[in-house]
Amino acid sequence: MAFLELKQITAGYSKHEPILRDFSLSVERGKLVSLLGPSGCGKTTTLRLIAGFLTPREGRIFLNGKDITQAPPHTRNIGLVFQSYALFPHLTVFDNVAFGLRMRKVPKDELVERVSKALSITDLSGLEHRFPSQLSGGQRQRVALSRALVIEPSLLLLDEPLSNLDAKLRVGMRAELSRIQKTLEITMIYVTHDQVEALSLSDEVVVMQGGRIEQIGSPHQIYRYPATPFVARFLGFDNRLQGTVTAVNPDYGVLSVRGQQFTFSMKAVPNEPEHFSFLQEGEDVEILFRPEDARIEESSGPNSLEVRVLFGTFLGKAVQYLVRFQDQEMTVLCSEGYRFQEGQRAFLRLDPNTWFLVRKE
């Protein structure tokens, strides 16, 4: 049995339709697993179940082999970091962090030592006597983290912990979280709607939607080989093209997009030889691909479509072009600055091995 097991959970809030149905998840000890999905997908509900603020209607939760389904939250020894930080406004940084230890009746000397250690891990030494209102957002975040870590929780749950920080701070805190997780070897469950956070921090990403798990995999797997159209769209396969399968054989397939032929390997997805097995000759499919997986060029070449440039947006390190192929609009990134004018003819070079194919309903 894994360190944390959720088995066939059905859960929701009073009288309403359940948010999670027959939901199962296992997390190995020492791993950082993130729950990724849009708001309302059930990721926070999952977190509240594990923390004990919500009791499942059906199913069981096991932590370290023990059934904790009915255990009251204050007995679970699970650390929590909230989106709002939830610091105690009337207590100093020291007393905030010491709170959990006082509940555990830790002797004074040990308490002082453990609090200072927790504060030094998060680089807060010297701020012991400040009140939360006297701290910056990043500092508050670190106090929240120290407060949860100091009790040596068997599991640390983080609910969108970085979403109230500005972009630059977020990157720094992300690295810090990752470092702390690795040095303390603590099992963490990280709830986020931000794919970059999930991909950069996690050992494993669980993509959720509508109370169900869409895909579980390593960040690379999730990013490169989404398992469902939802995961593909959620992870930035923003462009779509209509095509028709013209040939399939065990090694490669051929797709036609308005007469233009594209050849792709049937074995493009590692360890999943059956990935494209649903494709049949003559079938209409939808091609999903990322803006960064296509190139915009001046001249025609293999695997390219003739397009018209509609609009260019400067993004800093690249220019994002909106282009039109017949009646379909797509975006593409070009890292070589403004090279195309509005209305200009250009060629969109695609890489069929980065495509996600969906059968057209």
Partner 1 sequence: MKTSRFYLAVLGVLYLFLLGPFLLIFIASFGSEPIMTFPPKGFSLRWFAKVFTVRMFLDAFITSLWIGLASTLSALVLGIPAAYALVRYSFPSRSLLEVLFASPAVIPGLVLGFSLLRFFVLIGNFPIVLGLYVGHTVILLPYTVRVVSASLRNLDPSIEEAAVSLGAPPVRSFFLVVLPNIRAGVMAAFILAFITSFNNVPISLFLTGPGIAALPIQMLIYMEYYFDPTIAALSSLLIVITVLIVQGAERGLGISQYV
Other beta carbons less than 10 A from residue 45's beta carbon = 25
Could you give the strand order of the β-sheet that contains 4-11, starting from the edge strand earlier in sequence?
20-27, 4-11, 58-63, 66-67
**Sign of the Cα pseudo-torsion (86, 90, 95, 100, in order):** negative
Q: Closest CB to partner 1 among 142 and 290?
A: 142
Q: With CB under 8 A, what is the number of residues at the site for partner 1?
A: 27
Q: Which stretch binds partner 1 (CB under 8 A): 75-83, 107-115, 118-126, 269-277?
A: 75-83
Other beta carbons less than 10 A from residue 312's beta carbon = 20
- Closest CA relative to residue 350, chosen from 256, 275, 230, 273: 256
Q: Closest CB to partner 1 among 45 and 195?
A: 45
Min separation Cβ 299 and partner 1, Å: 58
Q: Which stretch binds partner 1 (CB under 8 A): 17-25, 68-76, 279-287, 348-356?
A: 68-76
Min separation Cβ 77 and partner 1, Å: 7
Cα–chain-centroid distance for residue 138?
A: 21
d(CA 287, CA 292): 15
Does residue 74 belong to the site contacting partner 1 (CB under 8 A)? yes
Does residue 62 belong to the site contacting partner 1 (CB under 8 A)? no
Per-residue burial over 211-248, b = 16 or more CB atoms within 10 Å of its CB, e = otherwise:
bebbbbbebebbbebbbebbbbebbbbebbbebbbeeb
d(CA 347, CA 342): 14
- Give the CA radius of gyration of the chain: 25
Q: Which stretch binds partner 1 (CB under 8 A): 32-40, 77-85, 314-322, 324-332?
A: 77-85
Q: Closest CB to partner 1 among 52 and 226?
A: 52
Min separation Cβ 53 and partner 1, Å: 6
What angle (nearest 5°) sits at the alpha carbon of residue 274, between those of residues 272 and 277?
A: 145
Residues 13-42 contacting partner 1, CB under 8 A: 14
Residues 82-111 contacting partner 1, CB under 8 A: 82, 84, 86-90, 99-100, 103-104
How many Cα atoms are found within 13 Å in the side-chain-facing hemisphere of 107? 2
Residues 131-170 contacting partner 1, CB under 8 A: 144, 147-148, 151
Q: Are the C-beta atoms of 5 and 26 separated by less than 8 Å?
A: yes
Q: Closest CB to partner 1 among 14 and 299?
A: 14
Q: Which stretch binds partner 1 (CB under 8 A): 67-75, 208-216, 240-248, 302-310?
A: 67-75
Q: Which stretch binds partner 1 (CB under 8 A): 80-88, 133-141, 200-208, 245-253?
A: 80-88
Q: Which residues bind partner 1 (CB under 8 A)?
A: 14, 51, 53, 72-80, 82, 84, 86-90, 99-100, 103-104, 144, 147-148, 151
